Structure 1
């Protein structure tokens, strides 16, 4: 990868990491309240959190290997691809363990988008929140590792 392309990748990734961090701040703020309105707001922020992670995946995919072509399993495939170390192309963005936490968040996002007639179950939301909060430190370390490995190939 040439230095110009690396600079663009780094800037886009850092910008997206900042967006993810802002959403994490809103998630932590909303977890303190337990009334229905705040639970729904927390659900919305968890939904947004996965969407922001998926935007990060798209930045990496666009830079290295283009888009996922299978639209039937697009979201699952894009996430899976981010846990792959693709020899000669790029290192994995995330570990398999982080990928599993992200997959739980992806599944919640899917439920949240399509659960028009359901109320959020506070117990289930608590499990999603717990997994999401485990991601906060992990993702920053793994993104830094990814950028370091990519930079060392220039």
Structure 2
């Protein structure tokens, strides 16, 4: 492995660990029976969902910076970065994630946009509930994809 790949792997694993902590934090909140679906619970879950997407994006930015050597900078850079991670770039790297996982992650990106552009009291539990219930499986799919990606990347660079 080249030093950049070692650094990339360490950074990616750190973010995956942080994402696991978010899943556990979300589980703790959802187990708290006294916290019915009220504004405090909605705000807490919304913050976790925002952080979840941000952590995924940090992984993608690290791949884009270290391997692709280009991070999108346009107004729609978040969507472009997500799409970039679905691309198989010959000689450089395989796709980091598949199109199905990208569609799931797109939902978290869309929520991130809502979270950042609404007041907390405007957030609706109904628009978040599916994201919270799918967060753990989305993370597992991401971990599986990233593991495969890192294995293939190591083979390419050897």
TM-score normalised to structure 2 length: 0.89
Question: Greater relative contact order (Cα 8 A, min sep 6): structure 1 or 2?
Answer: 2
1:133 aligned to 110, 119, 136, which one? 136
TM-score normalised to structure 1 length: 0.91
Decide which moves more: 24-33 or 37-46: 24-33
Match of 2:113 in 1: 110
Query: 1:31 is paired with a residue of what secondary structure?
Result: helix
Q: Which runs of 4+ in 1 moved over 6 A?
A: none
Q: Which runs of 5+ in 2 are unaligned?
A: none
Match of 1:12 in 2: 11
Aligned residues: 153
Preserved contact between residue 13 and residue 56 of structure 1 (Cα < 8 Å): yes
2:154 aligned to 148, 151, 154, which one? 151
Structure 2: how far apart are the matches of 1:68 and 1:109? 19
Instruction: Give the alignment of 1:75-90 within 5 angstroms.
Output: 75-90=78-93
**Deviations along 1:14-63, whole A, 9 cap, x unmatched?**
11111111112112222334232012100010001001111111100001
Query: 1:84 is paired with a residue of what secondary structure?
Result: coil
1:119: how far off? 2.1
Q: Which runs of 5+ in 1 are unaligned?
A: none
